[in-house]
């Protein structure tokens, strides 16, 4: 059965290494999404026998799951809630409350973005940054959506920094020199994106914390700035400056400032560099809950679906692609594709059907493998650290000021694989940590279930 091969291929189940020590905790204000945590160095785990291909493993009983859910909802830190637990093998719902209603999803939104991106563009897709000549003594740097570029040389073994602007500059200089050109002006084409550069409900607090950025279709290191939490104010301008520096270092004279332009169709290409494959970008985005990269993937979906490559167009495109996969998207509202905006609405049904679709489609396996594993990786590295949940839960986290969410897979003690989503809203002031703890207790009880 391909299902569990897809889910377990990246070390999803790690029942034999519960004693792994995770990285340091990084604390942030409650209103912001989960921060990236240092990644523990762990051995590749074997797949425990309990989660091998065991279609006869018993399902948890609905009454037992209902009792666990009622305990969750009774927690004083829990306001409103939507819950759905589904058996992956049969698709049968085992427990549900408000499962078809829209809830504020926080960063569980990224699960939908990841699935839509891989479904629309393929796991091997790469963002390309190119340089073209206009024939009038001008060359144009054409931004193609790669926000992970290095200012210097690229590293073929890296995800962030795979493509280098210095490499692009050197290759461009070589092409110009070969054509007898040593003096040019430089234009920058950012038409790969459209619309506002900030989404609804993104604000100065998000910018200061580095959770938001003025979006542009090219950036160095996802816009991060050494020694600062806030991201680059002009990511495209910073990338263009690094490119110009590389040209000058290679002996090309650059006249004037970089100008905003649009490359003419059919212009002669001088050089190009490409990002890491989409499968790697998706895994990085999910592990680190990287908002800016998730927005870049949303724009990719918009291009693939023929929508405007804006916040609004990306949200529509994600729904269109998922709907085309047979996933219920009724009531889906995406003002952004990262979950930072509190105007987003997603139902537990949409999240769980996305998970079951991923499980049945090997070509979407990179999304399942990219989910953080409880107690070991990413935003779950310091959560659910002990048996029975450690290594047996792979899920996307989500946190805003009054929201806590979690959506992914859990393998029960009986060896049954379940998909789940829990979206808690209207959390009392100061209660989001308690809400997250309540979610963790709930999913740990399901993992322990021989019920």
Catalytic residue among 77, 130, 275, 289: 289
Q: Read out DSSP for 78-132?
A: --EEEEEEEETTT--EEEEESTTS-B--GGGHHHHHHHHHHHHH-TT---EEEEE
**Run of H or E residues at 208:** helix 204-209
Count the Cβ atoms, other than its own, within 10 Å of residue 38. Answer: 13
Helix (H, G, I), strand (E, B) or coil at 287: helix
What is d(CA 213, CA 233) in angstroms, rounded to the nearest whole number? 7
The alpha carbon of 300 is separated from its chain's Cα centroid by a whole number of angstroms, namely 13
DSSP class of 59: P
User: Which residue matches tokens 């927690």?
Assistant: 75
Contacts 24+ apart (CB under 8 A), 431-434: 431/76, 431/77, 432/30, 432/77, 432/399, 432/400, 432/401, 432/402, 432/403, 432/404, 433/30, 433/77, 434/75, 434/76, 434/77
Residue 396 catalytic? Answer: no
Helices then strands, counting H and E runs in the chain, come out as 12, 11
Catalytic residue among 77, 107, 130, 405: 107
How far is CA 43 from each of CA 11, 20, 279, rounded to the nearest angstrom? 9, 9, 21
Please provide residue 377's backbone torsions phi and psi, each rounded to the nearest 5 degrees.
-135, 150
- Strand 138-142 relative to strand 183-189: parallel, antiparallel, unpaired? parallel
Triad 301, 120, 380: Cα angle to 5°:
75
DSSP class of 221: G
Structure tokens at 399: 């946190």
Does residue 341 come out as left (phi exceeding 0), alpha (psi in the -120 to 50 range) or beta? beta
Residue 289 catalytic? Answer: yes
Task: Yes or no: say if 64 and 449 are a contact pair by the CB < 8 Å rule.
Answer: yes
Structure tokens at 147: 């926000």
Count the Cβ atoms, other than its own, within 10 Å of residue 387. Answer: 16
**Run of H or E residues at 298:** helix 291-305
DSSP class of 388: T
Catalytic residue among 77, 110, 185, 396: 110
Q: Show which residues are catalytic.
A: 107, 110, 289
């Amino acid at each position: 059965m391909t299902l569990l091969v897809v889910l377990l291929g990246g070390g999803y189940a790690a029942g034999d290494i519960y004693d792994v020590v995770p990285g340091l905790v990084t604390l942030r204000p409650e209103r912001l999404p989960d921060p990236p945590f240092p990644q523990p160095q762990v051995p590749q785990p074997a797949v425990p026998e309990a989660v091998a291909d065991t279609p006869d493993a018993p399902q948890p009983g609905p009454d037992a799951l209902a009792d666990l859910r009622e305990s969750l909802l009774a927690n004083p830190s829990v306001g409103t809630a939507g819950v759905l637990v589904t058996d992956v093998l049969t698709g049968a719902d085992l427990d549900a409350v408000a499962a078809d209603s829209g809830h504020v999803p926080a960063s569980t939104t990224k699960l939908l973005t990841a699935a839509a991106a891989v479904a629309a563009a393929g796991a091997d897709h790469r963002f390309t940054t190119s340089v073209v000549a206009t024939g009038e003594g001008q060359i144009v740097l054409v931004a193609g959506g790669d926000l992970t570029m290095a200012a210097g040389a690229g590293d073929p073994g890296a995800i962030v920094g795979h493509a280098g602007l210095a490499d692009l500059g050197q290759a461009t200089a070589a092409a110009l020199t070969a054509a007898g050109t040593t003096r040019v002006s430089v234009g920058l084409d950012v038409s790969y994106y459209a619309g506002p550069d900030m989404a609804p409900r993104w604000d100065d607090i998000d910018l200061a914390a580095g959770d938001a950025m003025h979006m542009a279709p090219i950036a160095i290191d996802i816009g991060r700035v050494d020694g600062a939490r806030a991201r680059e104010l002009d990511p495209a301008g910073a990338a263009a400056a690094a490119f110009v520096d590389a040209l000058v270092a290679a002996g090309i004279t650059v006249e004037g400032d970089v100008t905003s332009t649009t490359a003419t169709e059919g212009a002669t290409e001088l050089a190009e560099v490409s990002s890491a494959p989409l499968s790697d970008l998706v895994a990085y985005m999910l592990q680190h809950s990287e908002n800016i990269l998730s927005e870049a993937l949303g724009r990719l979906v918009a291009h693939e679906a023929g929508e405007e490559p804006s916040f609004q167009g990306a949200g529509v495109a994600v729904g269109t692609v998922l709907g085309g996969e047979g996933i219920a998207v009724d009531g889906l509202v995406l003002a952004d594709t990262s979950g930072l905006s509190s105007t987003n609405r997603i139902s537990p049904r949409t999240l769980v059907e996305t998970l079951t679709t991923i499980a049945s489609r090997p070509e979407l396996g990179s999304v399942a493998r990219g989910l953080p594993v409880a107690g070991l990786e990413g935003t779950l590295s310091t959560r659910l650290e002990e048996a029975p949940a450690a290594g047996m839960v792979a899920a996307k986290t989500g946190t805003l000021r009054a929201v806590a969410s979690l959506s992914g897979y859990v393998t029960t003690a009986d060896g049954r694989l379940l998909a789940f989503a829990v979206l808690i809203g209207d959390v009392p002031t100061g209660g989001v940590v308690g809400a997250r703890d309540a979610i963790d207790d709930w999913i740990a009880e399901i993992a322990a279930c021989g019920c």
